[in-house]
Structure 1
Amino acid sequence: HKIRLGRLPDDRLTLQTGKTFELRPATAVADDAAPAPAVDVTTGASTSRDDLAAILQPGDRVLLADGAVELRVMGSEQHVVQTMIVHGGVIRTRSGVNVPSHRLTGDALTDEDRAAVPRALEMRADMLAQSFVRTAADVEALRALLPADGPPIVAKIETRQAVENFDEIAGSADGVMVARGDLGVDLPFQDVPMVQKRLIEVARRRGAFSIVATQMLESMTIAARPTRAEVSDVANAVLDGADAVMLSAETAIGDHPVEAAVAMTAICVATERDGADDLPSASLPPVADHPQAIVHAARALTDAYPRARAIWCFTRSGRTAEMLSLLRPGLPIVAFTSGPVPARRLTVRNAVIPLVLGTNRTGEPLIERMEQAARAQELVPRDEQMSVVLVTTTSEPGGVNRLELHELNEVT
């Protein structure tokens, strides 16, 4: 469970190098309705854990706000941790608090986490992000609390231990998040780029989608345009093969949330358009729970018929579209589903454009309904001939029963 600071005066505070700073128990932390702490708010802050004094030792390094501020533990007294500010900077209400990962032990799921699961299901959450996953067993502990058709689990990779156990974690989780803020604290920051690249590739080979997050357009919390280095960072995540890139502070507390989202989208579109030859594309080893020969055949068909402009698939569970996405065929994958839940869950998958067909009440042929839905979204040119690879599935999740090259606007 991520540790965060509590309420701060004016929601931000500047810490000066060489001064002392206290980390106080978890009073007045929680949400925006929590009362302000009744202590000197300029010399310390409350945290979301009340046991830091018990687990931190003199000499330990504590980082705030994804490493922007560094503290050194001097000691503790009456549940309060005294620290020296080694590198000052600006912190904000609910900034992250990073302590040495080997100090954190115990159940990966807190009581608060367990209580949140039923609420998330009641709210029909599309995905659940699990913080500070250390092993595949942590993921399975969360999955045990979910129904069989529950939301996908996104394992946040934030510690050295998670990196060491990543192969098993990626095989257990539905998706992974390369959470570079915390990861860059637990690992040397210079190691993070290559770790990111490796995690994305391993995730794809294990069948999990990948999200790259944290500080991608950090300067846009203040500035209206990204730095050139940030543009390159986002583009490199795309070229690494990430399924998605994520904004956090830029849209949560930044001054230009819309501009940040527009900039992120523009970078991704341009990179995929101009860097198509550099994007990952490879065969995958067999996956035991999916009859994927037809999926590989669809990929082969796109290679054999370069005039194909897209892959269309009808999928009830979303599994066929997920497998096609993992193969990175270099074409848009239009996934037609019978309901909104699989459609929403597919939005994070690389190259997948989900469309909801709904229930067939008129008896129309499936291909005609697919064409109508695609035309309504302007995915088919009006007067230009277009070829698509068509994949349709049986009623069994992941089963496939049809593969063909289909012509649209065919000239006779």
Structure 2
Amino acid sequence: MKKTKIVATIGPATESEEMLTKMLKAGMNVMRLNFSHGDFAEHQNRVNNLRSAMKKTGMSAAILQDLSGPKIRLGDFYQERVELKSGDKIIITTEKVVGDEKKVSINYKEFPKEVKPGDKVMVDDGKKQFEVLSIKGNEVTCKIIVGGNTKGRRGVNLPDTDISMSCLTEKDLKDVEFGIKNKVDFIALSFVRKPSDIVELREILKKKKCNAGIIAKIETPQAVKNIDEIISLVDGLMIARGDLAIEVPYQKVPSYQKMMIQKCNDAGKPVITATQMMESMIKSPVATRAEVSDVANAILDGTDAVMLSEETTLGEFPINAVTVMATVAAEIEANYPEREIVRVGVNGDTKLSDSITSSVVKTAHDVGAKVIVALTDSGFTARMVSRHKPQATVLALTSHESTSNKLSLSFGCKAVTVPRYDSIQDVIKMVRAYCLKEKLVKKGDKVVVTGGVPFNTKGLSTNMLMVEVI
């Protein structure tokens, strides 16, 4: 069984109950709904079909709602395409004008106030590049550094500019209401730049009594700069390498990926590595060697999850894409089964839990335990064990279904919702029955149990370690 989790984006190619059943069986752990596309009716159908597939198969998966976030775009041109020549000047204005080779509008009203001479303006996923020369009123004069044939309404990235616009648009707020109503497990916030972006969404969820986890999508240089504070506030991270490679020099992305994965491992927060992981499989039944290596190296870096986008929304071989990813993950995990525990940093606020959970992983290795049982209310204990990437399966027992679902994103975690337990005898009885039934162990095998005692005490640190023979 693979331990790395697979996030699959669901679209027209995979939204039926039949296809979602196949996706679950192939290895999908999290269904991603991309709210940049589709309407409420389409997404509702996908939620309903997944839950029906889970009920029929007895398998579980989390639902991740990915908000579209703010999109800065150029306006329309006088014809479908215009030729922008490198070296020419072009004026970008906040006035609504019909664009041409000399002047075009932009939908961000604060643009002239926030850019400065020398700032880069990246258009159409960075395929076209301008440089700000001067600002006068609501007009910004730019030099075309990289031109070419250009359509209207192309996206704009401003990597050098400290943008003031909120991460949450009016559309996002309506989409969040949908997510709350449908009890999604995670909400991914796009174009995060600063800690206050997270606080804004957290306050909205708190008022609605919604405990969905917040995933920060890291795709701006400002987010990279504020990464420590952002990680402290969120429930997980998505390394959105596509937009990030437009906003920062592309050669920096691999180093940033490794850095962010390490920081998430240190903090015990799940991290998703995303974008173009198996892109050739949109049209091909097999992955390229480079794609296989990309997935493998993300796993070796310590990622909790790898993600599929167009491969599973519109691709011709969505089941293949999940299967290939799962196969690569299982192979890497088998050949590199142990991670260096000392790589994980110690946070002073959770020093006791850090110490116990690292000892749990070492003990499991030393005694040859195949299962580590993490007793958890919030999922914290299971995540603190998971971050060490143990060879043993992390069996998380919780009385909260929402906690069980969220652990679908954490490496090596198999979460089970159980009745509340009052004694260690109750726990051992449940563990024996479940592990034997699911063939996780056989009689005579050892399991390591960890959690906080006394049981059912809110806010208690992880303080227990015991070894049990099945």
- TM-score interval w.r.t. the shorter chain? 0.7 to 0.9
2:359 aligned with 1:301: no
Give the residue type in structure 2 aligned to 1:301: T
Structure 1: gaps (5+ residues): 28-38
- What SS does structure 2 have at the residue aligned with 1:317? coil
- What SS does structure 2 have at the residue aligned with 1:145? helix
2:67 aligned with 1:3: no
Residues 55-107 of structure 1: per-residue CA shift (max 9 Å, x gap): 78999532435x4x3354899xx99x99979476999x998653445163233
Choose the corresponding residue for 1:265, options 312, 326, 329: 326
Distance 1:52 1:4, change over 3 A: same
Give the residue type in structure 2 aligned to 1:266: T
Give the residue type in structure 2 aligned to 1:345: K
8 A Cα contact 2:122 2:246, kept in partner: no
Shift of 1:265: 1.2
Alignment partners' CA distance in 1, 2:121 and 2:158 = 7
Shift of 1:15: 9.3
- What SS does structure 1 have at the residue aligned with 2:271? strand
8 A Cα contact 1:152 1:174, kept in partner: yes
1:64 maps to which residue?
Answer: 124
Alignment partners' CA distance in 2, 1:196 and 1:167 = 14
- What SS does structure 2 have at the residue aligned with 1:134? coil
Question: What TM-score do the two structures reach when normalised by structure 2?
Answer: 0.68
Shift of 1:208: 2.2
Alignment partners' CA distance in 2, 1:376 and 1:15 = 65
8 A Cα contact 2:70 2:167, kept in partner: no
Shift of 1:117: 3.0
8 A Cα contact 1:315 1:336, kept in partner: yes
The number of aligned residues is 382
8 A Cα contact 1:313 1:321, kept in partner: yes
Residues 139-148 or 347-356, more deviating:
139-148
Structure 2: gaps (5+ residues): 1-68
1:31 maps to which residue?
Answer: none
Give the residue type in structure 2 aligned to 1:161: Q
Residues 235-282 of structure 1: per-residue CA shift (max 9 Å, x gap): 110000111111112212222222111111111111111122466753
Query: What pairs up with 1:368-379 in 2 under 5 angstroms?
Result: 368-379=429-440
Query: What pairs up with 1:187-198 in 2 under 5 angstroms?
Result: 187-198=248-259
1:227 maps to which residue?
Answer: 288
1:136 maps to which residue?
Answer: 195
8 A Cα contact 1:312 1:334, kept in partner: yes
Distance 1:266 1:90, change over 3 A: farther
Shift of 1:328: 3.0
Alignment partners' CA distance in 2, 1:5 and 1:260 = 32
Distance 1:374 1:63, change over 3 A: farther
8 A Cα contact 2:352 2:463, kept in partner: no
2:310 aligned with 1:245: no
Percent identity between the two aligned chains: 30
8 A Cα contact 2:123 2:154, kept in partner: no
Query: What pairs up with 1:21-100 in 2 under 5 angstroms?
Result: 49=107, 51=109, 60-65=120-125, 67=126, 69-70=127-128, 72=130, 86=146, 97-100=156-159
Distance 1:97 1:385, change over 3 A: farther
Distance 1:111 1:234, change over 3 A: same
Question: What TM-score do the two structures reach when normalised by structure 1?
Answer: 0.77
Shift of 1:373: 2.5
Alignment partners' CA distance in 2, 1:290 and 1:390 = 19
Q: Which has the higher helix share?
A: 2
Choose the corresponding residue for 2:418, options 357, 360, 373: 357
Alignment partners' CA distance in 1, 2:221 and 2:150 = 26
Query: What is the Cα-based RMSD across aligned positions, in Å?
Result: 4.2
Give the residue type in structure 2 aligned to 1:137: S
Residues 274-283 or 245-254, more deviating:
274-283
8 A Cα contact 2:267 2:347, kept in partner: no
Distance 1:52 1:264, change over 3 A: farther
2:407 aligned with 1:346: yes
Choose the corresponding residue for 2:183, options 124, 130, 135: 124
8 A Cα contact 2:231 2:264, kept in partner: yes
2:452 aligned with 1:380: no
Distance 1:274 1:367, change over 3 A: same
1:403 maps to which residue?
Answer: 465
8 A Cα contact 1:355 1:373, kept in partner: no
Choose the corresponding residue for 1:170, options 227, 231, 244: 231
Shift of 1:295: 2.3
- What SS does structure 2 have at the residue aligned with 1:108? coil
2:246 maps to which residue?
Answer: 185
1:202 maps to which residue?
Answer: 263
Give the residue type in structure 2 aligned to 1:70: K
Identify the structure with bigger relative contact order (alpha carbons < 8 Å, sequence gap 6+): 2
2:377 aligned with 1:316: yes
8 A Cα contact 1:322 1:349, kept in partner: yes
1:113 maps to which residue?
Answer: 172
1:36 maps to which residue?
Answer: none
Distance 1:17 1:295, change over 3 A: same
8 A Cα contact 2:338 2:390, kept in partner: no
Shift of 1:176: 1.2
2:284 aligned with 1:216: no
Residues 103-161 of structure 1: per-residue CA shift (max 9 Å, x gap): 63233333333343333222111011111111222212221222276111111111111
Alignment partners' CA distance in 1, 2:450 and 2:162 = 50
Alignment partners' CA distance in 1, 2:149 and 2:326 = 30
1:389 maps to which residue?
Answer: 448
2:343 maps to which residue?
Answer: 282
- What SS does structure 2 have at the residue aligned with 1:102? coil
Distance 1:15 1:199, change over 3 A: farther
